[in-house]
Amino acid sequence: MIVKVVLLRYQMRMTDGPQTPARIAELLVHVGRAARSEDTGSELTAAQWTCLRFLARANGSTRTPSCFASFQATTRGTASQIIKSLERMGLVTGTRSDRDRRSVSFDLTDHGRAMLMQDPLRDLISVIDGLGTVERDRFLKTLSHLASTLAMHRDLPVFGTCQDCMHFAPSGDTAYCACMAEELAAVDLPKLCASYTPTRDPMSQGDQNDAD
Amino acid sequence: MIVKVVLLRYQMRMTDGPQTPARIAELLVHVGRAARSEDTGSELTAAQWTCLRFLARANGSTRTPSCFASFQATTRGTASQIIKSLERMGLVTGTRSDRDRRSVSFDLTDHGRAMLMQDPLRDLISVIDGLGTVERDRFLKTLSHLASTLAMHRDLPVFGTCQDCMHFAPSGDTAYCACMAEELAAVDLPKLCASYTPTRDPMSQGDQNDAD
DNA sequence: CCATTTGATTTTGAATCGATACTAATTCCT
DNA sequence: AGGAATTAGTATCGATTCAAAATCAAATGG
């Protein structure tokens, strides 16, 4: 029996007391949890979806089991299993790196890209897409602040994009990554990189100013 | 090996293209996931923490296995197991309802309340607490909009507080719930209720106006 | 050249969660 | 009132998933 009701409002009018932050936090994890689950027969598990998304968004040297493990804050063994399950389904294929013969980089197949079109996160994405640009930017700013501060507290690794990285040096058409010591393809610029290093201190005023 | 880096910024400067909503959604689930995990020896599992929080926040007739099941979008059997595990640890105690001898309402023990003080969500809560009130209110507004819209798409049940419910009728010192047909204790007003029904249409301008 | 570190994988075990079935209490219907 | 149908809760079983530990291969460093 599913009670179909509509508006969720975790109390916002009367009490502005100290439990409001707790409500916000609970609501955040609730939404995060709800967004990943799927009512109509799930094709993949939550971990598999997350892995598929990660492999789609990370650059060449980051699409590895190890990097996914640290991204998910799990063990390499578990990461390896998840990736292998995706490989068995024909959603990703691995190729060994020439630079380091141990490491394997996984790419999405056409089948994998097609599967990503049915990502259960699609619902949440479309709702976010419906927000106004101002509201969306504000939301992203606050959310990324929460993410970075929380990651700092927990000593969690952080993945950012090459174009925001300290090692990033644009050079004409392509760009150079001082960390990997190699040229970056244009397609990799907006992708996640494990060796990402922020350009500024997170707690500085940088987060507060650049949208005004 | 944990890479301790600090600022997470899922690309916000250059590309304002259509993949930004996707990044926001991913970041949201990422934060939700990170907030629940615990680095230093976890005492409870994520599901148990969620259950403990739920039982702490829900009103008398809502602190039941069935209600928690629909809150978590899981089966009653699983909900029953989770609650029972908490009961074994002495964190909650159940009492049968007089009104309906089948239903059991679970309350937190002192031990349970003490445990809640170590909720891994505490880190996220403290970060949210550090936000300015304006930013926090805006964030909550957007987040609850996302939650309600998503719940509507997915036909998920929604839990709201008595004081925001359509059945709510304040009467002097106490209040009356037209749905349960009984008086509400003051302590229950800000609590979650399974029979919550919104007073207004979610898509109306109500969400946009009352904070200006 | 050998020790150490790192990347990936396999195996094993524990634990969680869901499906199913069952009991007890309530409600509805004739 | 009596009986069917529904609902709350629980128990059992099985599949699945994830983490811990061990292993192998490649790279790094002294």
Amino acid at B44: L
Strand B104-108 relative to strand B160-161: parallel, antiparallel, unpaired? unpaired
A47 touches strand D (CB under 7 A): yes
Shortest CA distance to A152 belongs to which of B130, B105, B113, B135? B130
pLDDT digits (tens, 9 = 90+) for B164-173: 776 677 766 6
Shortest CA distance to B159 belongs to which of A25, A212, A5? A5
Q: Using the structure, give the distance in angstroms from the CA atom of B181 to the C1' atom of D27, rounded to a whole number.
A: 73
Distances (CA, A) of A27 to A3, A127, B166: 19, 16, 21
Q: Which stretch of DSSP H or E encloses residue B108?
A: strand B104-108
Shortest CA distance to A62 belongs to which of A145, A177, A198, A149? A177
pLDDT at B206: 37
pLDDT at B32 over 70: yes
* Contact residues, B window 23-82, toward A, CB-based 8 Å cutoff: 23-37, 39, 50, 53, 57, 70, 73
C-alpha neighbours within 13 Å on the C-beta side of residue A58: 27
Q: How confident is the model at residue A172 (pLDDT cuts 50, 70, 90)?
A: low
- CA-based end-to-end distance of chain B: 48
Q: Using the structure, give the distance in angstroms from the CA atom of B66 to the C1' atom of C5, rounded to a whole number.
A: 51
Nucleotides of C under 7 A from a protein CB: 6-11, 15-21, 24-27
Whether B159 and B145 have beta carbons less than 8 Å apart is answered as no
Q: Is the CB of A172 inside 8 Å of chain B's CB atoms?
A: no
Whether A158 and A165 have beta carbons less than 8 Å apart is answered as no
Beta bridge partners of residue B161, listed in sequence order: B192
In angstroms, the CA B212 to CA B210 distance is 6
Beta bridge partners of residue B183, listed in sequence order: B176
Gap from A51 CA to chain B (nearest CA, Å): 11
pLDDT at B19: 66
B198 touches strand C (CB under 7 A): no
State how far Cα A21 lies from the chain centre.
24
Of B6, B129, B202, the CB nearest to A21: B129
Q: Is the CB of B117 inside 8 Å of chain A's CB atoms?
A: no
- Over chain A, what is the mean pLDDT? 78
Whether B74 and A37 have beta carbons less than 8 Å apart is answered as no
Q: Is the CB of A97 inside 8 Å of chain B's CB atoms?
A: no
Closest nucleotide to A47: CA versus each C1': D17
Whether A34 and A127 have beta carbons less than 8 Å apart is answered as no
Three state DSSP letters for chain A = CCCCCCCCCCCCCCCCCCCHHHHHHHHHHHHHHHHHCCCCCCCCCHHHHHHHHHHHHECHHHCCHHHHHHHHCCCHHHHHHHHHHHHHCCCEEEEECCCCCCCEEEEECHHHHHHHCCCCCHHHHHHHHCCCHHHHHHHHHHHHHHHHHHHHHHCCCCCEEHHHCCCEEEECCEEEECCCCEEECHHHCCCEECCCCCCCCCCCCHHHHCCC
Q: Using the structure, give the distance in angstroms from the CA atom of A145 to the C1' atom of C8, rounded to a whole number.
A: 34
B157 touches strand D (CB under 7 A): no
Q: Using the structure, give the distance in angstroms from the CA atom of B206 to the C1' atom of C15, rounded to a whole number.
A: 45
Closest A-chain CA to B13: A164
User: What secondary structure does DSSP assign to B145-204, as a single string?
Assistant: HHHHHHHHHHT----EEGGGBTTEEEETTEEEETTTTEEE-GGGTTSEETT--BSS-TTS
Mean pLDDT, range A64-69, rounded to an integer = 93
pLDDT at A201 over 50: no
| Confidence (pTM) | 0.82
State how far Cα A52 lies from the chain centre.
11
pLDDT at A196: 75
pLDDT digits (tens, 9 = 90+) for A76-93: 999 999 999 999 999 999
Gap from B202 CA to chain A (nearest CA, Å): 5
Amino acid at A158: V
Who among residues 87-106 of B has its Cβ near strand D, under 7 Å? 94, 100, 102-105
A158 touches strand C (CB under 7 A): no
pLDDT at A6: 34
Q: Is the CB of B128 inside 8 Å of chain A's CB atoms?
A: yes
Closest A-chain CA to B76: A1
pLDDT digits (tens, 9 = 90+) for A7-58: 333 333 444 555 689 889 999 999 998 888 765 555 788 899 999 999 998 8
Cα angle B118-B34-A73, degrees, rounded to a multiple of 5: 115
pLDDT at A134: 92
Shortest CA distance to B52 belongs to which of B33, B32, B72, B34? B72
